[in-house]
Amino acid sequence: MQQEGIHPAWRLEEPWPATLVAPLEGSESPEADAVLAEAANRIGGTIDVLEIQSTPDDKHPWSLAVRIPGHPCPVLVACEKTKRMDEVPESLRPAIAASRWSLVMESLIEGEDARGGWSRLARIPGARKDVIAIIDATTGRWFDRREIEDSLLDEELGAPEDVLWRVQAVSSDEDLDSGSVWLFTRGLLRCGLPELEILELPGRHAAEGARLLDAIAGLLIEDGAPPPEVPYPVGPDLSVAFLPWSDVASTLDSESLGSEADRIALSQETPNPLRSRRAVICGIEPRGSFRRIWTWPEDAIRAIAAPDVRIFRSDQSTHRDTMLARRSWGDAVAAFEASRTQDSDQSVVLLVGIPLDEDSEGRVEHGWLQAVEVDSNGGRGRLLRATIDGRSAGTEMEFASDQIDGWRLVEGTPGAGPDDAGGPGSVQDGVKA
């Protein structure tokens, strides 16, 4: 998203870089030429060295400013001693603790293709077999070797869009259900967008709030942020409003989290991202007759908790899910047919997602069928619910394998899908914006 096209309320005062760190195996620091050669081979082009930076020392053997194919901004590629890291996944702790050297990549990714920019940075260390894992320094998210190979380096699929942000929660009570939570994203500033927040959200709705922020973040990556207070659609007949954080924080209850003092206390970074451009997601109308107070988006939160919720999805999310589903359709067919040949009560259900119809604004409704018969070419199933274009729940439809945009095999909890994540509760209808 270009800064000149963004509303002044969300325009960033300065760009925020993306920084990836990759701890290495082995005791010897890698040579710069070897790192660039492997990266060039993976990326498929020439990497130009623009500048050799600083004087090397025992902790920083080399540091280069380079230009990589398809990336508009210079990239810093450096080697440094592996630093102590907090919150390392248990499976990675022994290898990370033994690591002596790390590769560091840093660049701006703001623009029309932030996900592509992030992916290009990840391919530099991903090309090396001695990389143990990659950590995104902004979000704190780790990617192990399997994720690097199966996801980050997959040129056809590309990295999932949510590598660009992470939703975090701060609670006012040890018992999450009893208190309220402050939900916020980390990572969108580097995409030229405001970070998103929900303030004073009842803790029992934390999961739904996180899902709502994830959905909105994906849409904003493609569409940009709307003006403050203007209803922003997140689903059919479902909208929220964006407010600058300072406008909402000034009306918070004294016991609630998210005040300016909280933001100063929670982040020691300079500049402080918790006090930068941030949009609080609220209901579309303020409450109160004497004093207008914007509050958490209750209608959207309650809707997203419903089993038949319909929310808009980004083009990128839809495209990636579709490719994953079609790639793995044979696995779904094999598992479903195997379940029907075994002595059982046939409790295994195969749900198949397909596109249905477009609305007047060109958005495509995505529905789910409960499969009746399937083969490698497609199958037949019944709609789980009524559709916008008037088809009733239970309507039988045929589908081809090149039509499907999702599938889930459900047998109790959890279920299994193309990415083997989530359970039956994640099988929901969506509309692509």
pLDDT tens profile 238-272: 999 999 999 999 999 888 999 999 999 999 888 99
The residue ranges of the chain whose pLDDT is under 70 are 1-5, 307-308, 342-347, 359-363, 412-417, 419-433
Q: Is the pTM of this model over 0.95?
A: no
Length in residues, the chain:
433
Q: Give the pLDDT confidence score for residue 359 in this predicted structure.
A: 67
My answer on whether 239 and 357 are in the same domain is: no
My answer on whether 74 and 139 are in the same domain is: yes
Whether residue 285 is contained in a domain is answered as yes
DSSP string, 289-338: SSS-B----HHHHHHHTSTT-EEEE-HHHHHHHHHHHHHTHHHHHHHHHH
**Distance of alpha carbon 232 from alpha carbon 282, whole angstroms:** 10
Q: Which of residues 262, 281, 305 is at a domain's end?
A: 305
**Distance of alpha carbon 365 from alpha carbon 376, whole angstroms:** 24
Whether residue 107 is contained in a domain is answered as yes
Q: Give the pLDDT confidence score for residue 413 in this predicted structure.
A: 46
Whether residue 149 is contained in a domain is answered as yes
My answer on whether 358 and 387 are in the same domain is: yes
* Partner residues linked to 136 by β-bridges: 20
My answer on whether 349 and 337 are in the same domain is: yes
Write down the residue that tokens 């710069």 correspond to.
32
Pairing of strands 232-235, 195-202: unpaired
Whether residue 98 is contained in a domain is answered as yes
My answer on whether 187 and 299 are in the same domain is: yes
Whether residue 195 is contained in a domain is answered as yes
Q: Give the pLDDT confidence score for residue 339 in this predicted structure.
A: 81
Q: Which of residues 108, 135, 163 is at a domain's end?
A: 163
Q: Give the pLDDT confidence score for residue 205 in this predicted structure.
A: 95
**Distance of alpha carbon 222 from alpha carbon 316, whole angstroms:** 8
My answer on whether 158 and 179 are in the same domain is: no
My answer on whether 281 and 336 are in the same domain is: no
Whether residue 247 is contained in a domain is answered as yes
Name the domain count of the chain.
Answer: 3
My answer on whether 157 and 197 are in the same domain is: no
Q: Which of residues 144, 163, 182 is at a domain's end?
A: 163
Give me the sheet containing 18-23, strands edge to edge: 48-52, 62-67, 75-81, 101-107, 18-23, 133-136, 142-144
Whether residue 191 is contained in a domain is answered as yes
My answer on whether 85 and 153 are in the same domain is: yes
Whether residue 110 is contained in a domain is answered as yes
- Encoded amino acid at 11, one letter: R
Note if the bond before 414 is cis, omega within 30 degrees.
yes
Q: Give the pLDDT confidence score for residue 421 in this predicted structure.
A: 37
My answer on whether 332 and 254 are in the same domain is: no
Q: Give the pLDDT confidence score for residue 431 in this predicted structure.
A: 42
My answer on whether 413 and 316 are in the same domain is: yes
Nearest to 171 by CA among 284, 242, 257: 257
My answer on whether 225 and 176 are in the same domain is: yes
Residues 280-311: tens digit of each pLDDT: 999 999 987 777 899 999 999 999 988 667 78
Residues 381-421: tens digit of each pLDDT: 999 888 877 888 899 999 999 999 989 888 754 456 676 53
Task: Please give the residue range of the domain that contains residue 110.
Answer: 15-163
Q: Give the pLDDT confidence score for residue 3 in this predicted structure.
A: 57
